[in-house]
Amino acid sequence: MALMILGVLLWIAAHSFKRALPDQRASLGDPGKGLVAVVIVVGIVLMVIGYRQADFIYVWAPPTFMVHINNLLMLIAIFLFSPAAKRGRVLHGMRHPMLTGFKTWAIAHLLVNGDLASIILFGGLLAWAVAEVIVINRSEPDWAPEGAPGTIAKDAMFLVGSVILLAIIGYIHFWLGVWPFPS
């Protein structure tokens, strides 16, 4: 579990570096982007390895219907991660679509995983995303959406893409030993 926690901490540190230490981040210039990306990738690898190696410590038993809610939330999260906020109509003007999608992803996983490692991993990432939104809103209070809203046709295209991506992610989960779609 220590590797997983270290991975979460690296994720948080890398994503917070620019806002917490702006002068130090600016002094790194463009190579700093690569450094941050490497730290994020290392964090993700450590989270995955640590999560897969963690002992199963039972905390609660999620009801089986939560799988359906999880899948719906995952579809919403994937849609929020898509370019729909910039190019579609439905999400136009939403301030933090990717962070909202990230929070939705974390909540979805907390609903269906009742073990301690899952609570630490997904709860820790959820706490980071909530804090990130608060920090951004406080540092940039005068935000306004840019450009004209896109079309509903683009939203439909992104929704279809989100369904396809959800299926692909489901099969990756199956390959890793978890079938996320109830029969």
Same structural domain, 126 and 148: yes
Same structural domain, 33 and 80: no
Alpha-carbon Rg for the chain, nearest whole angstrom, is: 18
Same structural domain, 50 and 63: no
Same structural domain, 100 and 151: yes
Give me the number of domains the chain comprises: 2
58 by DSSP, 3-state: which? strand
Same structural domain, 94 and 139: yes
Same structural domain, 10 and 35: yes
Same structural domain, 161 and 143: yes
Report pTM.
0.91
- Three-point CA angle 63, 109, 11, nearest 5°: 155
**Domain assignment of residue 156, given as a range:** 57-183
Q: Which residues pair with 60 in a beta bridge?
A: none
Tens-place pLDDT, residues 49-107: 999 999 999 999 999 999 999 999 999 999 999 988 788 888 988 999 999 999 999 99
Same structural domain, 124 and 137: yes
Same structural domain, 4 and 85: no
Q: Given pLDDT bands bounded at 50, 70 and 90, which one contains residue 21?
A: confident
Same structural domain, 110 and 162: yes
152 by DSSP, 3-state: which? helix
